[in-house]
Structure 1
């Protein structure tokens, strides 16, 4: 058990490999004809040890296997990485260990072994509840396969989250509401609902540039966001972050550490970290990361100091995503900057008057404010080190 005086740390482990590349995905994911886990294990273990040395004085609050498709990882490798992590850091009781999974029958067959390896929470990428939509999104599963995988996940893991994507071409708010009601009937304790956006460098971006892909208009997408919050709250899964809804107590502890601007370490290709006032970025190409880790003992490409002004702006952007908003005490502890020194007081008062911010000591966006977060941060953020 970790001493309570140690600072919490979220550990992110990136597995970059996928069977196929989804057309909307701009994550660091790669398709390889063959991946031999033995070629990669030593690099992960070295990267973990480097981060543990850099975060002495922290306790492990969560582990998150992301990707890529980490449910393609051999469960034995997952087990060894978990075992090594809890040997390197003192861990909180009931450590949350999440793994992202595709709901295919092949991956579902691994769920029992992944649970035995120590995974106690799975994030299942259902993405849609219609076969035509799944084909459009380039997903490797159909609906029947996805629902069968969900049933297995609910049997094997203590906590299950499902992902859905709305604002797909031709989708109406009414159709989304029906799909979401069905999803809420599955009884999971957490649901992530993401608006489909066109990201640069993706296949969807190429189609959109040619006029071959049109998303619902802004009004329809806003209506879907509002419906999501209303229906999830009515089902007992209130919104706690812009795209995330959970039963009280089933929020993602790992992601809350990010949004509250706590320390996190990232290992694996392309992983990012923020710890000890330093920002780390790993080599993005998997083979470049692996070779660097084996050669140098870590896979870091860049490591830079985060200035108080940068930290304050990042903490504003992350914290305003949360329904709870930003606690002034936590903000000062995380950034070294008083919240009042980082925020334009006149702009805050004006935005409260417009109904975009909640009144009170916490800095919290209203539902309307969460629709325009980038604009809120741009209006609020001050450079706390600038001369007055």
Structure 2
């Protein structure tokens, strides 16, 4: 993986889902009676105009429609948003435009129209390749639908990825290896693989507290992690980030904006952003409730509820937290420029001695990256370095 500039991206949040998955703590909402697509699309365009006035002159390298379930968006709504972005900023010739989708037959029916609107990369929320676990995870599709959607996505889009979840109840290492091998054959060049965790205020948390949901213990979860890396490394899909695996050159350009600590505008209910405005880096966040967000946008041009200046120390901590998730690690010289600090040589030497991190040279720059052992306890490594 070749390191590069962080870039500038746009994140568009579509907060609506057909149903709420029991493990999900994202800002997603179910509206059985549907939503006013044209009104919400107009709201997104209006909020984009607000941010364009604040950070003009950028070149957009990536656009990501996340959710929620963006494949519930009408293709016309996607087109409206993309036209608004192109109206306000320059678009890179090789721009990556990703849309997250559920692999149900209803969502897949719009794939061709999304491609015509400008989407060139699809991210499918497959999560499992057996019907038992799909049902447990609250997914609305079955394996047959997932396979059909994957095949259609590969025919329709330039690039495609899908998500898988491991450390599921009753899952064995052998079963997971077989499932991963099947996923590799389907995915082509990118897979996102996440460990199932219990998140606050979810249905799974209620079941877990009641003793009705039992996840693999720490040792089994570690074995599943090891199996993930063994299978995907052997298939030519090494991890370039803690939960993301890709063939060289197939990494998610948009996610690299986050992890390399670039700039990104976040629009839509509950979206976050990081902007450099008048030389200051700012953290933005919008109202989470979709209808309240829309009323704010229509009244004020944006739905912001947080818009804060980040100190150099806060920026340095964020860069550490994000950058050390990458296999390439962080540019140590850039960290010092951002934070205004010098990394404690003693702390760095101690982590190196314990095999948690390593320092490498990239031309005349220095990089610090987590080892495999350090990646398994990344939060502790980051906390030690940031202290």
Q: Which category describes the TM-score, using the shorter chain as reference length?
A: over 0.9
Instruction: String of CA shifts for 1:45-71, please: whole Å, max 9, x gaps.
Output: 110011111212421110000000000
Equivalences for 1:31-110 in 2 at 5 Å? 31-33=30-32, 34-110=34-110
Q: How many residues align?
A: 373
* Contact 2:162-2:187 at 8 Å conserved across structures: no
Instruction: String of CA shifts for 1:69-99, please: whole Å, max 9, x gaps.
Output: 0001000110111111012111111110000
Instruction: String of CA shifts for 1:271-320, please: whole Å, max 9, x gaps.
Output: 00011111101000001110000000011111110110001001001000
Structure 1 partner of 2:283: 279
Going from structure 1 to structure 2, the CA distance change for 1:359 and 1:328 (only over 3 Å counts) comes to closer
Q: In structure 2, how many angstroms separate the alpha carbons of the residues matched to 1:144 and 1:9?
A: 37
Equivalences for 1:228-267 in 2 at 5 Å? 228-267=228-267
Equivalences for 1:1-388 in 2 at 5 Å? 8-33=7-32, 34-276=34-276, 277-332=281-336, 336-337=338-339, 341=341, 343-360=343-360, 361-382=366-387
Q: Report deviation, 1:187.
A: 4.2
* Contact 2:121-2:160 at 8 Å conserved across structures: yes
Q: In structure 2, how many angstroms separate the alpha carbons of the residues matched to 1:249 and 1:54?
A: 32
Q: In structure 1, how many angstroms separate the alpha carbons of the residues matched to 2:344 and 2:205?
A: 36
Aligned CA-pair RMSD: 1.3
Q: TM-score, normalised by structure 2?
A: 0.94
Q: Report deviation, 1:332.
A: 4.9
* Contact 1:70-1:99 at 8 Å conserved across structures: yes
Q: In structure 2, how many angstroms separate the alpha carbons of the residues matched to 1:128 and 1:297?
A: 40
Q: In structure 2, how many angstroms separate the alpha carbons of the residues matched to 1:319 and 1:150?
A: 31
* Contact 1:7-1:57 at 8 Å conserved across structures: no
Instruction: String of CA shifts for 1:231-273, please: whole Å, max 9, x gaps.
Output: 1111111110000000111100100010011111100000000
* Contact 1:122-1:153 at 8 Å conserved across structures: yes
* Contact 2:42-2:80 at 8 Å conserved across structures: no
Q: In structure 2, how many angstroms separate the alpha carbons of the residues matched to 1:342 and 1:31?
A: 48
* Contact 1:62-1:97 at 8 Å conserved across structures: yes
Q: In structure 1, how many angstroms separate the alpha carbons of the residues matched to 2:9 and 2:73?
A: 20
Structure 1 partner of 2:363: none
Q: Matched residue of 1:185: which SS?
A: helix
Consecutive unaligned residues in structure 1, runs of 5 or more: 1-5, 383-388
Q: Matched residue of 1:71: which SS?
A: helix
134-143 vs 90-99, which deviates more?
90-99
Q: Report deviation, 1:188.
A: 2.0
Q: In structure 1, how many angstroms separate the alpha carbons of the residues matched to 2:295 and 2:18?
A: 23
Going from structure 1 to structure 2, the CA distance change for 1:377 and 1:7 (only over 3 Å counts) comes to closer
Structure 2 partner of 1:386: none
* Contact 1:241-1:323 at 8 Å conserved across structures: yes
Q: Report deviation, 1:359.
A: 3.1
Tell me which stretches of 4 or more aligned residues in structure 1 moved more than 4 Å: none
Structure with the higher fraction of residues in strand conformation: 2
Q: Matched residue of 2:92: which SS?
A: strand
Q: In structure 2, how many angstroms separate the alpha carbons of the residues matched to 1:8 and 1:55?
A: 14
Q: Report deviation, 1:342.
A: 5.0
Q: In structure 1, how many angstroms separate the alpha carbons of the residues matched to 2:49 and 2:27?
A: 23
Instruction: String of CA shifts for 1:190-246, please: whole Å, max 9, x gaps.
Output: 000000000000000011111111110111111111111121111111110000000
Consecutive unaligned residues in structure 2, runs of 5 or more: 361-365
* Contact 1:342-1:381 at 8 Å conserved across structures: no
